[in-house]
């Protein structure tokens, strides 16, 4: 959405904003980029760059924004289709795959950490070798924990966006509460 607004405002304003921000950075590359943007903006104002060329740049920016938004939309559509297929599946494992993955990750992590603790406490002469081996697994754990984090985040998002969540609160409000036992009255 921000890209669309910037595309409609125009290239000169965009160059002014970006050039000003880059000008405040104390680095030669940022300074030269800010100078190049300022020179380009001055050339547009002085008429050295035709309005047609500026319009073409705006059109190009709008088209690039449109293509980027279409790519994001396509990616979300694919995710939506796969999640719908998962929910609609008659195979119970497909519906329970995310929790199963989470449980397996927790078990694996626990076994690895308990093994590491055992080696550090009871077999200290081999601890450095085991620590090096476990540090070599960090890339694998990064990927696995990232996938698990996405699973948890997406599942939480699905639960909050389900259409029957509002109906649940209405149903809960209409369920009668059990009667309370009368309290003994003291000092009556």
Measure Cα distances from 133 to 105, 126, 139 in Å: 18, 11, 12
Q: Which pLDDT belongs to residue 37?
A: 84
Task: Please report, for the chain, the start and end positions of each structural domain, with discontinuous segments joined by +.
Answer: 2-80, 91-171
pTM above 0.85, yes or no: no
**DSSP secondary structure string, 9-45?**
H-HHHHHHHHHHHHHTS-SHHHHHHHHHHHHHHHHHH
pLDDT digits (tens, 9 = 90+) for 103-139: 899 999 999 999 999 999 999 999 999 999 999 998 8
Q: What pLDDT is recorded for position 111?
A: 95
Whether the Cβ atoms of residue 31 and residue 39 lie closer than 8 Å to each other: no
Q: Choose between 187 and 108: higher pLDDT.
A: 108
* For residues 83-89, average pLDDT: 73
């Amino acid at each position: 959405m921000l890209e669309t607004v910037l595309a409609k405002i125009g290239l000169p304003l965009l160059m002014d904003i970006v050039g000003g921000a880059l000008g405040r950075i104390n680095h030669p590359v940022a300074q030269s980029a800010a100078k190049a943007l300022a020179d380009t903006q001055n050339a547009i104002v002085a008429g050295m760059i035709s309005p047609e060329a500026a319009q073409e740049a705006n059109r190009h920016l709008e088209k690039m924004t449109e293509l980027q938004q279409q790519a994001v939309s396509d990616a979300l559509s694919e995710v939506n289709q796969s999640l719908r297929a998962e929910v609609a599946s008659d195979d119970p494992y497909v519906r329970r795959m995310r929790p199963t993955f989470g449980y397996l990750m927790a078990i694996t992590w626990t076994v690895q950490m308990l093994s590491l603790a055992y080696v550090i406490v009871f077999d200290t002469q081999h601890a450095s070798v085991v620590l090096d081996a476990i540090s070599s697994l960090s890339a694998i754990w990064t990927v696995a924990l990232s996938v698990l984090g996405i699973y948890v985040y997406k599942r939480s998002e699905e639960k909050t966006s389900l259409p029957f969540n509002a109906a649940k609160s209405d149903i809960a409000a209409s369920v009668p509460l059990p009667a309370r036992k009368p309290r003994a009255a003291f000092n009556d």
